[in-house]
Amino acid sequence: MRVALAVAFALAGVLGGGGPAVAERLVASLTNHHVMITSNYTGVELVLFGSVEQDATSLGRHGPYDIVATITGPRETVRTRRKQRVLGIWVNTQARTFVDPPSYLAVLANRPLDAITGADNLRRLRLGIANTPLPELIHNDIGEVSNDPFRAALVRLMGERGLYSEQSNAVTFLTPTLFRAAIALPAQVPIGDYDVDVKLFADGSLIGHTNSAFEIVKVGFEQFVVNAARDHGVLYGLAMAMLALLTGWIASVAFRRD
Amino acid sequence: MQIYLPIADIPVNVFLVLAMGLAVGFLSGMFGVGGGFLMTPLLIFIGVQPAVAVASVTTHVAASSFSGAIAYWRRNAIDVTLALTLLAGGIVGSAGGVALFTWLRTLDQLDLAIGLSYVTFLGVVGVLMVAESARAINRSRRGKPAELRRPGSHIWFHGLPLKLRFKRSKVYVSAIPVLAIGFIIGFIGAVMGIGGGFLLVPMLIYLLRVPTATVIGTSMVLIFVTMTATTVLHAATNHLVDAVLALILMVGGVIGAQFGAHAGQRIRGEWLRLLLGLLVLSVGLRFAFELVLRPDDLYSIRLVGGAL
């Protein structure tokens, strides 16, 4: 699927570069390529800037431009569980494993996606959360399930945490060719590499795209704690045990009354 | 002031968590229990994932019971032989509990297991404590003397082999029930994120007939060693002990416990037991409602390999 996408992009590139109709170039950049999670991190907002560069042949020829920016976070396998009443209590009885869905997915546009281009085009370009593939593990096979309530639940729950979002007013054009978009990263944002894919549309067709990326890292003490806990579990545990005993001892000395 | 918890992956208000540590520490000092059974539900309530809450509270309980054990050690109120025998069972129990914890997590049933064990243990212990203390209060109201210990009464396991003499506690009993009690406390402690003091103290008093002079100090020793071992095991297998969360809880907890211990000395024993019983029972009921009432959302998600 990635290959197919790459081919599609290459084709678009060839058509864009060689075709007589399209001569716009899309440039975009982020305000920050490293987001640091420190002890006072409670979420952050990145800004994506970009402009559509026109040359002499394209000047004024296209109607208003449309931008769709897709931000995809690191991929991690997720289980979605459903509760059912068993003997009067609510128990997780069914579960589906989603293989490597993005842990963060934001689709930002300047107007509703279906107003920018047709449904077929959106499906083909995999634009929007509904068109993003979220493959499931089915009997050791990986595939898509249509109209799956577990998929809907995953999208909804990720949405409630601010991790999946589709916003049709997040991109604003400052001038007809200059745009900006705010990327909201909530407090529970997963660490890792994020891809930013920006697509330029005019009159319902894709006429350009560009990529960017940023990285979310834990730094300093947070980084140290996470690494220690993950890579040196036993040592970390022993250190925690020592810390507990030390705290207990200090308390008993500090409050000693005899 | 918000602070980001590196393992739980959420920001929390430091003062809120510190206040929770103080409040639970106060109650634990007042009633002579670890307070894990209150702290774990509170953390889950403010949004910490149950698995991280359980693992981090073990560290907090280790700290508060260690400071308690030191205080009892100074007063020479610890039966070392009894504590060591209980411990032999307790360490094995902790390892078993952590293994069950890990297994339940992969089955998506950890939250259910935590909920069910809270309802069962807190419900039973709460009812027993309330009933017993209400009887005691009634008796003293009618002006009758408090019921004395019945030293002669034998339970079936008093006939078991491998008898040991626990000098400090003046009991002569088979090692098998002592090891079994240690095992049970270690096991459920690891699964529920509690020290198990509220289970251990009645078991030692009613089953082994350990006198009140040594019971709390000895149980504190068992709890601090099993909880220390459980902290290491949880960190090594599930990587879920949050150092920042545990530290805030510990600091609040040990300070609160000192004030609680003072307050506890001013209340009569049976009233203290009644209050503790009601507290235990209400936490149990809270979990029961959660299991029985239809949840707001039937679906939930868990990152595989992550901490959800």
Query: How do the domains of chain A map onto residue ranges?
Result: 2-218, 219-258
Give me the pLDDT at residue A173, please: 92
Residues of chain B in contact with residue A103, where contact means CB-CB under 8 angstroms, are: 303
Residue B68 to residue B195: CA distance in whole angstroms: 13
Percent of chain B's residues with pLDDT above 90: 5
Contact yes or no for A81 and B241 at CB 8 A:
no
Has residue A197 got a pLDDT over 90? yes
Residues 223-262 (B) with a CB less than 8 A from some CB of A: 224, 227-229, 231-237, 239, 241-244, 246-247, 250-251, 254-255, 257-258
Percent of chain A's residues with pLDDT above 90: 22
Residues A225-235 have a mean pLDDT of 83
Has residue B304 got a pLDDT over 80? no
Write the single-letter amino acid at A83.
K
Between B146 and B194, residue with greater pLDDT: B194
Tokens found for residue A44: 């952050």
Tokens found for residue B74: 């100074």
Task: Say if CB B223 and CB B199 are below 8 A apart.
Answer: no
Task: Say if CB B255 and CB B22 are below 8 A apart.
Answer: yes
pLDDT band at residue A167 using 50, 70 and 90 as cut-offs = very high
Residues 12-51 (B) with a CB less than 8 A from some CB of A: none
**How far apart are the CA of B164 and the nearest CA of chain A, in angstroms?**
30
Has residue A10 got a pLDDT over 70? no
Has residue B306 got a pLDDT over 60? no
pLDDT band at residue B46 using 50, 70 and 90 as cut-offs = confident
Give me the pLDDT at residue A196, please: 94
Give me the residue spans of the domains in chain B.
Answer: 2-292
Give me the pLDDT at residue A214, please: 92
Contact yes or no for B66 and A244 at CB 8 A:
yes
**How far apart are the CA of A128 and the nearest CA of chain B, in angstroms?**
21
A226, A240, A257: best to mutate for the B interface, most B CBs within 10 A: A240
B296 to chain A, any CB pair closer than 8 A? The answer is no
Write the single-letter amino acid at B142.
R
Has residue A2 got a pLDDT over 50? no
A247, A249, A250, A255: best to mutate for the B interface, most B CBs within 10 A: A247
A86 to chain B, any CB pair closer than 8 A? The answer is no
How does pLDDT run across B238-266, given as a tens digit for each residue? Answer: 788 888 899 999 988 888 887 887 777 77
For B240, nearest residue in chain A (alpha carbons): A229
Residue B211 to residue B13: CA distance in whole angstroms: 43
Write the single-letter amino acid at A188.
Q
A97 to chain B, any CB pair closer than 8 A? The answer is yes
- Confirm or reject CATH 2.60.40.3880 for domain A2-218, answering yes or no: yes
Give me the pLDDT at residue A12, please: 44
Has residue A109 got a pLDDT over 90? yes
Looking at every residue in chain A, the average pLDDT score rounds to: 82
Contact yes or no for B65 and A249 at CB 8 A:
no
Q: How many CB pairs under 8 A join A and B?
A: 192
Contact yes or no for A244 and B258 at CB 8 A:
no
pLDDT band at residue A58 using 50, 70 and 90 as cut-offs = low
Beta bridge partners, A164, equal: A105
Q: What DSSP element (H or E) covers A137?
A: strand A136-138
Please spell the DSSP secondary structure of B224-283, one letter per residue: HHHHHHHHHHHHHHT----HHHHHHHHHHHHHHHHHHHHHHTTS-HHHHHHHHHHHHHHH
Percent of chain A's residues with pLDDT above 70: 87
How does pLDDT run across A35-51, given as a tens digit for each residue? Answer: 888 777 778 888 999 99
ipTM over 0.90: no
Give me the pLDDT at residue A95, please: 85
A257 to chain B, any CB pair closer than 8 A? The answer is no
Residues 200-219 (A) with a CB less than 8 A from some CB of B: 218
Residues A122-147 have a mean pLDDT of 84
For A86, nearest residue in chain B (alpha carbons): B292
Has residue A17 got a pLDDT over 50? no
Nearest to A244 among B231, B236, B308 (CB): B231
For B237, nearest residue in chain A (alpha carbons): A233
Residues B22-39 have a mean pLDDT of 82
Give me the pLDDT at residue A179, please: 93
Range A190-194 contact pairs with CB under 8 angstroms and sequence separation of 24 or more? A190/A73, A190/A74, A190/A76, A190/A103, A190/A104, A190/A163, A190/A216, A190/B9, A190/B306, A191/A37, A191/A74, A191/A216, A191/A217, A191/A218, A192/A73, A192/A74, A192/A103, A192/A216, A193/A74, A194/A71, A194/A72, A194/A73, A194/A74, A194/A104
Report CA torsion sign: A32, A34, A35, A36. Answer: negative
**How far apart are the CA of B196 and the nearest CA of chain A, in angstroms?**
17
Between B304 and B100, residue with greater pLDDT: B100
Complete edge-to-edge strand list for the sheet that includes strand A25-30: A25-30, A44-53, A178-185, A171-173
Give me the pLDDT at residue A48, please: 93
Contact yes or no for A83 and B300 at CB 8 A:
yes
Residues 90-109 (B) with a CB less than 8 A from some CB of A: 108-109
How does pLDDT run across B135-175, given as a tens digit for each residue? Answer: 888 888 887 655 555 444 556 666 666 777 777 777 777 78
Give me the pLDDT at residue A15, please: 43
Has residue A174 got a pLDDT over 70? yes
Residues B284-295 have a mean pLDDT of 83
